[in-house]
Amino acid sequence: MNYILVAVGAGFGGALRYYLSSISYNFLPAYFPSGTLLVNLIGSVILGFLIFGLDEKGLLSIEIRLLIGVGFCGGLTTFSTFSLETFNLLKNTEYLLAFWNIVLNIFLTIIGIVIGFLITR
């Protein structure tokens, strides 16, 4: 049953990732992987809220943690895509964009966790 919960959550998270990444390029520059940054930030806020707002307070069942925390957030966030996009920027000698992609993804997703934490306080 746990595997099914993770799979269902990952399916919804992956579908939302595709949707958000697709529409982000209508508003943000296409030369920078902003869609990946956006979903990583959103996933970090959700995970921070889930863990600090619900799980630490004993308000989260293992099933919901698996469904949302492991499945949904795992399907939504995209570290492997981030790595590939960063590699492609480096390969194309877009060193400044690669640098900003690394810095923004790392720091904004940590800030996302902090935001999720602060929302719960």
Single pTM value for the model: 0.81
DSSP string, the chain: -HHHHHHHHHHHHHHHHHHHHHHHTTTS-TTTTHHHHHHHHHHHHHHHIIIIIIITTT---HHHIIIIIIIIHHHH--HHHHHHHHHHHHHTT-HHHHHHHHHHHHHHHHHHHHHHHHHH-
Q: For position 79, what pLDDT does the model report?
A: 86
CA distance 10 to 8: 5
CA distance 29 to 76: 21
CA distance 70 to 68: 6
- For the chain, 121 residues long, the average pLDDT of each consecutive 10-residue run is 97 97 90 92 92 87 93 90 91 97 95 93 85
Q: For position 63, what pLDDT does the model report?
A: 95
Contact (CB, 8 A) for 105 and 82: yes
